[in-house]
Structure 1
């Protein structure tokens, strides 16, 4: 990496809130983000979707700012915009704006996050239910391949829930449920506040002290680990009228905090890091089996999944699956080439250096790092990646490639015995 080290400062407030300031003086925008341990994995079947709905409600207004319009107008008048997202195991709330507006915006941000009024609940229910419909077919069946994959892998464990929940649950939410969920999760023990961009570290820390010291301490939430009971490959085929079949080939793997995480990062870069890497070259360039294909690692603090994603002609679903499985098997048997490792290491260097160009990405790097107790600097991550060997990558590939870790989902129209061919392939998958 560049000889320039990433400079940051962190303090723990008296209430236990971790505040991190990561100046990027070359930028012209300031950023403040609050990362919270909240999401579908902390829910039950009865309240699934409550974290996501609560995210929507927090920007709906305070006692002073009476509705969503007033909230958005207040931030936009300072040159910024509000952002929020709920993931499976964390939520992020942030504002990006000119640095001269940061102090005023931080006070507003604290007001919105600390003192929600929970107004217009019924209006927001309608909005969220519209969002839920995006993942359903005309008969109300779940057809989102990613949602189906997690249900297949994790079953009734919360990691198998959808983030949005179902319409019936959403319609049942009330203010008392929202306040109880808010009080449990939106605490200092379950949150990290990050400042990045055009900020002075000392001044940013002072803003954190001034505006977030009254956040209740709360109790640190530790989720229930998912069981590992799978003994053989699993397959789910969902019939859906569409022009292509949405395919997911998923391998359950290590957690985001495992010591092999650096080897996993290298494995993913060798598999899919542009159109010259193994996955795209094999399936698209060489055989023309589909227009696009990709892979990603979805890591949790106690588990993880490697997802291969493709949209293919219905009749090619089995072929694409077969090639993905063969690719994983080959990497597990032979490992990567030295040329692949050199390229992957260098691209890691460039990506980590590029964090300095984005307020949001650098904030996420530190925010999720502190939230899930895997704190490191970009330079420290690079050192770990640079030490990964071909044998390390081969070992993680062998770990992934086991049949009891394989889950395949196909959402489309598998006619003319294509469903049987796919079933035979998946059920017959083996690796020594």
Structure 2
């Protein structure tokens, strides 16, 4: 099943997690740093993402972006970076014989990027166009709107890319300052998975990071749910389909109730035989896509339903979705549905952990914020222990009318009362 992992902490606080995989010919190197848009202030919202872009613009050893991309393309590597609300990651994946080369490149990017002012100005325009692209994509935009509604009193509700007006005016000197504040050894994790020798990896990684400076982590305020009435955000846009997300705050990564919430979410909206897919699409033809489930940040999460529905059938679709949420809260889930959901989760996890990059992400994502790393085997055991009674308790705790949030993008006015009146939980 899953591969064993090895965790090592170096003298400067840098952590290394390795996952040897003997049945693969690839290797993935991923470097994670514990900062993202949740660590920002309104004046610099989007800087984590901006900095991630700039890290590919050149180092002393590889002066330009093309030097980096040409070297990695020349060995057929896959590479990229990503910004989350709570972390930022940089990675490359290649054939196992190129391990030292991709480690050299990714480490060089992470430690030695030059952040040249001229490149900052060029990339500023690129990021503004990226934001425009997201705004033009209703399915993406509705996700940002939903978190803005639910986490309205927290930086969790802010867009990772930031507002265009902030990006347009962000001072160039803020980028190296932000780098110095958050990119240090104790706040960094190196993950390596694939066809590797863990001992050699440990020695090689230390050669690169032995002089990385230490620092002090900046903690955000833990999120506290204070919502006392439903919230609705409607973005009026001429679309052929209305995209919506409706849901409530959920549990964080270290809350044991998340296991029951995960199983509950599978019953509700995972797969083409789920309750939502059956009722919304198969029986009524109200949506092309509809799904639901639970997800987590470090200290809070969500329990949501997403759908794309025909404009004229929005209220009908919302009514059916609300009926399914009420059913979940008011009626115990059958033992047969619970067994099916657990088997679904087990199979889905095993299928998703067949590659070196999947294992690297699985472990590094956890290491930053979980109190204890949960192996795939342990996760399956945790799901297996969930009872119908626990799921019922979680449904009653989560699905409270006063904690309901709705975001939608479509040809509707923000004060449309037919939409508000259909949100009855």
- Could you tell me how far apart the structure 1 residues matched to 2:205 and 2:243 are? 45
Aligned-residue offset at 1:425: 2.2
Mapping of residues 178-257 of structure 1, within 5 Å = 178-257=175-254
CA pair 377-290 structure 1, distance change in 2 beyond 3 A: same
* Per-residue Cα deviation, 1:295-317 (whole angstroms, up to 9, x for no partner): 24331111111221111112211
For residue 171 of structure 1, what is the aligned residue in structure 2?
168
1:413 aligns with: 411
- Aligned residue for 1:155, secondary structure, equals coil
Match of 1:86 in 2: 83
CA offset digits 1:353-388 (Å, max 9, x no partner): 334412122111110111112411111111111100
Deviation at 1:275, TM superposition (A): 0.3
**CA offset digits 1:276-330 (Å, max 9, x no partner):** 1111111101111111111243311111112211111122111111111111111
Displacement after TM superposition at 1:264 (Å):
1.5
* 2:123 equivalent in structure 1: 124
Q: Distance in 2 between matches of 1:414 and 1:53?
A: 33
User: Which residue of structure 2 lines up, in the alignment, with residue 25 of structure 1?
Assistant: 22
Partner of residue 153, structure 1? 150
TM-score (norm 2): 0.94
Give the structure 2 partner of residue 16 of structure 1: 13
Equivalent in the alignment of 1:387: 385
What CA distance in whole angstroms lies between the structure 2 residues aligned with 1:24 and 1:45? 43
Q: CA deviation at 1:91?
A: 1.2
Residue pairs, 1:56-95, within 5 angstroms = 56-95=53-92
Identify if the C-alpha distance between structure 1 residues 175 and 196 changes in structure 2 by more than 3 Å, giving closer, same or farther.
Answer: same
Runs of 4+ more than 3 Å apart: 135-138
Task: After superposing the two structures, state which structure 1 stretch, 319-328 or 43-52, moved more.
Answer: 319-328
Residue equivalent to 2:42: 45
Give distance in 2, aligned partners of 1:265 and 1:383.
13
Measured in 1, the distance between the counterparts of 2:131 and 2:157 equals 16
**Pairing partner for 1:263 from 251, 260, 265:** 260
TM-score of the superposed pair, with normalisation by structure 1: 0.93
Rounded to whole Å, the distance in 2 between the matches of 1:143 and 1:240 is: 14
1:213 & 1:266 partners in 2: Cα distance? Answer: 43
Contact 2:268 2:293 in 1 (8 A): no
Local SS of the residue matching 1:221: coil
Taking only aligned residues, the RMSD between alpha carbons, in angstroms, comes to 2.1
Question: Equivalents in 1 of 2:421, 2:349: separation in Å?
Answer: 42
Instruction: After TM superposition, give the deviation of residue 78 of structure 1 in Å.
Output: 3.3
Contact 1:10 1:19 (C-alpha < 8 Å) held by counterparts: yes
Instruction: Measure, in 2, the Cα distance between the counterparts of 1:215 and 1:271.
Output: 46
Would you say the 8 A contact 2:266–2:293 is kept in 1? no
Measured in 2, the distance between the counterparts of 1:144 and 1:370 equals: 29
- Give the drift of 1:156: 4.3
Q: Aligned residues, how many?
A: 422
Q: Which digits, 9 at most, give the CA deviation of each residue in 1:9-34, with x for residues without a partner?
A: 11001111110110111111100101
2:8 and 2:17 in contact (8 A); partners too: yes
Distance 2:224 2:265 in 1: 25
Cα deviations across residues 119-147 of structure 1 (Å, max 9, x unaligned)? 31111111101001123369xx9992111
Gaps of 5+ in 1: none
Specify the alignment match of 1:399 in structure 2. 397
The DSSP-based 3-state class of the residue aligned with 2:253 is coil
Tell me how far apart the structure 1 counterparts of residues 152 and 32 of structure 2 sit (CA, whole Å): 27
Contact 1:247/1:317 (<8 A) preserved? no
